[in-house]
Amino acid sequence: MLTLETDDEKVNRAVLLLKGGNVIGLPTETVYGLAAKISDLDALKKIFQIKKRPFFDPLIVHVSSINQARNQVREWPKSAEILAETFWPGPLTIILNKQKHISDLITSGLETVALRCPKHSLALKIIQEIGEPLAAPSANKFGKTSPSEAIHVIQEFGEEIAVIDGGPCDIGIESTIVKLEEGPNLIELTLFRSGAIGLEEISRALKVLKKEIRLLRPGDGIESPGQIKHHYMPNIPLLFIDEKKWSHLGDAIEEKTMKLNIKLNLNFKNLCILDLPQKPEQAARELYSKLRSSSSQPFDLIVFIKEDHHKGEFWQAILDRLERASTFNLNVK
């Protein structure tokens, strides 16, 4: 459908809908979000209901400025200031201790809140006009493939919500999420989700503070359900396989099934090889569209072959999504 709405009209419509207690499909540079005002508890509940998301999975709070971010947290450490100055607006989410007004619905009862300033002019204008942050998870059903175009959100939710079309997302995968804990001589940095901005870049930016930087792994508890094993899943089974095993697929499957002591009746005739560009920036941009279009065709199985050149932090972030999206994983570790 051809839409003749101008950006101002889109912003006005979004603001009216949000003020009227609705949830909207919001474009960001990473993926589309399902957004509601942080003060509107009924609309926040609708997000969980529409997405079929469990309440234990907290939402990201989207701000339009560093100043607004500061007002959502108890302390705004120097390290947060530097990361925000360096990477915002952009695909980095920072977890800090929350202010009282941030609802438990947003944080799933945690004392911390995840903050991000998106780099999409429509998202920024909408948040500015509303005058308060917007809570938004990715606009897909829980556990399913994320949306990187407005049409994906429409396909996912139909008439249930209005979607503000901001074009295809520039980054294409979700933001990097880090938790920051800063002491007098030490900054503890926990990576909850990898993304386009890598830990190397983040650590480099923090060096100016001349403090020790300690990298931590998230605890075993479900502190960040982005850690959930199955996530981003397409509607058709996805096989994640290392190229070293691909030429011996039959052997690899046999080895795995023998190990697990199961018998599989695999009779996949129509395979779809997921073909991604070499450059991670481009691959991320196309990832969810390709997963969605492949799973809308009559294939039995989608196959992603991990190749040797899939290296570096950005590729790791893409591989992380693909591993979680896969039904069968024959990766060489």
Where along the sequence are the contacts to ligand TXA (CB under 6 A)? Answer: 28, 30-31, 33, 57-60, 91, 93, 95, 107, 110, 112-114, 116, 118, 136-138, 174-175, 177, 192, 223-226
Size of the site for Mg ion (CB under 5 A): 1
Residue with structure tokens 């697990």?
260
Q: Is 194 in the site for Mg ion (CB under 5 A)?
A: no
What would the two tokens of residue 208 be?
């100016």
CB of 16 to ligand TXA, least distance (A): 21
The H or E element that residue 311 is part of is none
Enumerate residues 126-145 that contact Mg ion by CB under 5 A. 138
Q: Which residues contact 319 (CB under 8 A, 6 or more apart)?
A: 306, 310
For tokens 């009209």, the residue is 9
Q: Which is nearer to ligand TXA, 168 or 225 (CB)?
A: 225
**Residue 326 is a binding residue for Mg ion (CB under 5 A):** no
89 vs 137 by CB, closer to ligand TXA: 137
Residues contacting 162, CB < 8 A, separation 6+:
13, 14, 17, 22, 24, 25
Closest approach, Cβ 170 to ligand TXA, in A, equals: 11
Q: How far is the CB of 146 from Mg ion (least distance, A)?
A: 6
Residue environment code for 33-72, b if the CB has 16+ CB neighbours within 10 A, otherwise e = bbbbbbebeebbebbbebbebeeebbbbbbbbbbebbbeb
| Minimum CB distance to ligand TXA smaller for 64 or for 175 | 175
> Which of the listed partners (Mg ion, ligand TXA, none) does 50 bind, with a CB threshold of 5 to 8 Å by partner kind?
none
d(CA 92, CA 180) in angstroms, rounded, equals 12
User: Which option in ligand TXA, Mg ion, none does residue 194 bind, with CB closer than 5 to 8 A by kind?
Assistant: none
Binding positions for Mg ion, rule: CB under 5 A: 138
